[in-house]
Structure 1
Amino acid sequence: MPDARLIDLTANDVVGLLRAGEVSPLDCVDALAARIAEADPAVNALPTLCLDRARDHARRLQDRPPGERGLLAGLPVPIKDLTEVAGVRTTFGSPIYADFVPSANDIMVDRLEANGGVVYAKSNTPEFGAGGNTFNEVFGATRNPWNTDLSAAGSSGGAAVALATGMAWAAHGSDMGGSLRNPASFCGVVGFRPSPGRVASNPGFKIDRLLGVQGPMARTVEDAALLLDAMTGESPADPISLPRTESFLAAARSGWRPKRVAFSADLGITPVDPEVAAICRKAALRFADLGAVVEEARPDLSEAHDVFHVLRAMSFAVAHAQKLERHRDKLKPELAWNIEQGLACTMADVARAERGRADMLRRTNAFFDAYDLLLCPSTIVAAFPVEQRYVTDCAGHRFGNYVAWLAIAYAITLTTAPALSLPCGFTADGRPVGLQIVARPRRDADALAGGRALEQALGLGHRPIDPRPPGGAGTRA
């Protein structure tokens, strides 16, 4: 019988048991398979399973001594359905690729498996990762486990829900405009957007990209740091990839604390739901209890909307223009719009956006000369109804397109700064809220260490929940 007690443990605890030989990789796969059968029908987080592949890999790992199984020692990890896994259906959330089975792994998957990760599932995502709500025409919508009438956000919505419900101990995600941070906030888990290049991955058509990154998600900061350690390292196939120079788990556990912290409820660029702002401000002020000076301050990010709109549109055009030409009828309207916006960009638009991004980076680095961390909400609202495609308005402001509500995340993306979404509280009606913890570019360790310190101060816990219908309650807390 699968050991259901494993489900409540942290990823670090499970890896400790694996290294000690007290449980096997196969035990872990079996425990997750049983939990998926229980929980996934209500939330649709892991629509593609590859359990036979996982069990074959687990058996191969078990032929080695526990100390020779890599950093993860056989820990199962789900992969977002935007990333190719050899021999496993990979749809990108699109009808165009509904039956696509790649023959090779993405660089990141190779790295994870070389470090003892066992791939057992693909997590749901919106079509080509476009949009902050996880639904697509292939698998349908992923539902928020705290209230299954609500959105899990996106685009790493399936990963966040799998974590929150105990169908994963740690999970792979990716982030351009908040795709790790948004679902982490909506689902009460941790999502970490590392510095660009920290995690090597297949470049695709734009090899010098700085907007989209791969990163870890988990229920605790330490677990996210563990997975990041297993994901990092340079590859000649990814020209922006960085060498692994430190252990991020050790950094998270180092005891480092910030001396001076800035908080901004809106970064000066976006409306924010007042309840979300108040929850995040209260959590940020807990850094004062840890000995830090906490002040209201922010860098000047005023160009963020124009810069992100142009650079995101350009990247979508580079990646998907041929799909628009050949398969327009199969693309969701928001994605088609985004590609068309990119194709319509002029060289003057691109030049203006690149100058604006350079100015934002310069001012952000100057800001971090004075502050160790910048804190703000991860999302401007808590979870909204799953049938609502995106947030159309907030605090009396109506947004002009389907990504504008994500500005508090995408402004940070443009600075190349690492950013952690940490659960920091709940709304009055029980929806999770995340606090975004931002460090100087390339100082990923500071974001993780600061996040762990605040996580311990807040003491919100990490145990998985059962999916909860509207007005219901789960048996786990």
Structure 2
Amino acid sequence: MILKSSAATLASMGLTSIAVAKDHTAPASESSNNLPPPDEICFMTAVDLAALLRTKKISAREVMTAHLKQIAKVNSKVNAIVTFVPEDQLMAQALAADELIAKGNTTGALHGLPIAVKDLVETKGLRTTYGSLLWKDLIPTQDALIVERQKNAGAIVIGKTNVPELGMGSQTFNPIFGPTFNPYDPSKTCGGSTGGGATALACGMTPLADGSDMGGSLRNPGSFCNVVGLRTSPGRVPLTAVKMANQTLSVQGPMARTVSDCALLLSVQAGPDVRSPLSLADDPKQFAKPLGRDFKGVKVAFIKDLGLPWEKEVIDAAHAQRKVFEDLGCIVEDNEPDMTDANECFVNFRHWQYEAQYGDLLESNSDKMNAYTKWHITEGRKLTGPYLSRLEMKRSALFRRVQQFLTQYEFLIMPVSQVLPFDVHTPYPDQIGDVKMLTYLDWMRSAYYISVAGNPALSVPCAFSKSGLPIGIQIVGRYNADLSVLQMGFAFEQATKIGKRRPAIAV
């Protein structure tokens, strides 16, 4: 498969870059005199930026100007943000944010902060393509709940981040915008499907990005781009517009450069909604509190290999983190849950779900669908009622085994991905070691085994390969224990500080 040239694709759409923002001063703030340079502003944490905005030490216009300059400098090299809100609109929103701050008011925890929205998520008045020719010109008339909540908290949407076609696969490319490139090595993939979001974060083009995860789409790009991605518990961020309201494979959640920033964003995204039967009633403000915690005596399980093939550098990098957890006071043991039937359950429920989502469009739009979509629809139509009922029994048994395992341990630790970032012009790895990958999904089992079990999981930077490619570790928590996963991720992050290494392309 040949992927479209990013530069050529963007140029054809007039999206090679955006104009560098003018010097917008901020009379309503006390900033302006001792501001850090724009590239430093762009790599501040969202938590710190929010505090500076609240105390008038920086203005929303200065924050926006710095990020627009960084986008103009870097985006054409990586193709992360593919649809933009016009600069004059962004600066007008930043001005409005400053005026509220001058009056002593803010709209919420994200007041004045830029945010990038995944191109699988509907944004009112802003093109949402899903990376598909079927919707290349779609302008939604309303925001998805996650976007609505982010805006209500004061965030300013700067644009949409690139995705694989219909979000399928952990390699970000599509026929509309082409591929997104890994910021640490543009010859490699950034992962997916939140690949554009991960790359934009790593390059300092936004302090926050939202995303979604079915088979690893918040975790794999986090691992490949040295940022943090949280697969939330089903219902933590309610899905109010999905066709199958009780499905648990797909979730939405936060992505950022730090665990604390992820938690801040989740505090806005989370919370119950009556339109989602799975939505969790826990108070989302819990995620806005400090994440520090004592882990002395906490039991942690390190997988051996989970019966999967691994690139040696990846599995070795994860196992090398054992001492970090021991130094945090954890009791670390080698153990792993029985994941029998995880592959069959994930793949076939994915077939079923995608057939329900896109099956009605196949006959009339086959020429606008990629091979992955057609495969899922075709296989989904072969599934029978008796087979699905027995598959659900297997998934139920798997769920109970994993949850029972996690009564012995509070966390399961493993790599996020089975491979390092691979060539950006390769749709997916066809082999890991001596093991042949039979489908575009096979190499993602380390992520989607956790998806089908239903547990929260955090991707946190842990190492770099000999060739300078990021490697992430996956912290899996107990059922619905998103907060404890963030707390452990925060402790690990503070101990290692691997996430502070910036890509040279962004400097």
- The structure 2 residue matched to 1:68, chosen from 106, 109, 116, is 106
What secondary structure is seen at the aligned counterpart in 2 of 1:121? strand
* Stretch of structure 1 that moved more, 154-163 or 394-403: 394-403
Structure whose CA Rg is larger: 2
Task: Say if 1:359 and 1:54 are closer, same or farther in 2 by CA, change over 3 A.
Answer: farther
- The structure 1 residue matched to 2:496, chosen from 443, 458, 465, is 458
Q: Distance in 2 between matches of 1:258 and 1:158?
A: 39
- The structure 1 residue matched to 2:464, chosen from 413, 420, 426, is 426
Q: Distance in 2 between matches of 1:72 and 1:354?
A: 40
Q: Distance in 2 between matches of 1:242 and 1:78?
A: 25
- The structure 2 residue matched to 1:159, chosen from 185, 194, 197, is 197
- The answer on 1:390 being equivalent to 2:428 is yes
- The answer on 1:115 being equivalent to 2:153 is yes
- Specify the alignment match of 1:83 in structure 2: 121
Q: Distance in 1 between matches of 2:185 and 2:139?
A: 33
- The answer on 1:226 being equivalent to 2:261 is no
> Once the 2 structures are TM-superposed, how far is the Cα of residue 143 of structure 1 from its aligned partner?
0.3
Q: Distance in 2 between matches of 1:341 and 1:149?
A: 33
* Stretch of structure 1 that moved more, 54-63 or 163-172: 54-63
Q: Distance in 1 between matches of 2:111 and 2:93?
A: 12
> Once the 2 structures are TM-superposed, how far is the Cα of residue 251 of structure 1 from its aligned partner?
5.4
Q: Distance in 1 between matches of 2:289 and 2:160?
A: 29
- The answer on 1:259 being equivalent to 2:298 is yes
- The answer on 1:403 being equivalent to 2:438 is no
- The structure 2 residue matched to 1:58, chosen from 88, 94, 112, is 94
- Specify the alignment match of 2:215 in structure 1: 177
**Contact 2:461–2:499 under 8 Å retained in 1:** no
> Once the 2 structures are TM-superposed, how far is the Cα of residue 461 of structure 1 from its aligned partner?
4.1
- Specify the alignment match of 1:22 in structure 2: 57
- The structure 2 residue matched to 1:150, chosen from 170, 188, 210, is 188
Q: Distance in 2 between matches of 1:346 and 1:461?
A: 46
- The C-alpha deviation readout for 1:51-83, integer Å capped at 9, x for no partner, is 444334333333323543201122111000000
C-alpha RMSD of the superposition: 1.6
- Specify the alignment match of 1:36 in structure 2: 71
**Contact 2:475–2:489 under 8 Å retained in 1:** yes
TM-score normalised by structure 1 residue count: 0.95
- Specify the alignment match of 1:471 in structure 2: none
- The answer on 1:350 being equivalent to 2:388 is yes
Task: Say if 1:87 and 1:133 are closer, same or farther in 2 by CA, change over 3 A.
Answer: same
Q: How many residues align?
A: 468
**Contact 2:346–2:449 under 8 Å retained in 1:** yes
Task: Say if 1:196 and 1:404 are closer, same or farther in 2 by CA, change over 3 A.
Answer: same
Report the residue type matching 2:96 in the other structure.
R
- The C-alpha deviation readout for 1:289-309, integer Å capped at 9, x for no partner, is 111111111111111110001
**Contact 1:320–1:339 under 8 Å retained in 2:** yes
Q: Distance in 2 between matches of 1:257 and 1:19?
A: 36
- The structure 2 residue matched to 1:443, chosen from 461, 481, 496, is 481
- The C-alpha deviation readout for 1:218-274, integer Å capped at 9, x for no partner, is 111111111111111112222322234242142523455661100114323x21111
Report the residue type matching 2:94 in the other structure.
A
Task: Say if 1:240 and 1:59 are closer, same or farther in 2 by CA, change over 3 A.
Answer: farther
- Specify the alignment match of 1:49 in structure 2: 84
**Contact 1:81–1:125 under 8 Å retained in 2:** yes
- The answer on 1:212 being equivalent to 2:247 is no
What secondary structure is seen at the aligned counterpart in 1 of 2:159? strand
> Once the 2 structures are TM-superposed, how far is the Cα of residue 22 of structure 1 from its aligned partner?
1.8
- The answer on 1:341 being equivalent to 2:379 is yes
Higher relative contact order (CA 8 A, sep 6+): 1
Q: What 5-or-longer segments of structure 1 have no aligned partner?
A: 468-473
- The answer on 1:364 being equivalent to 2:402 is yes
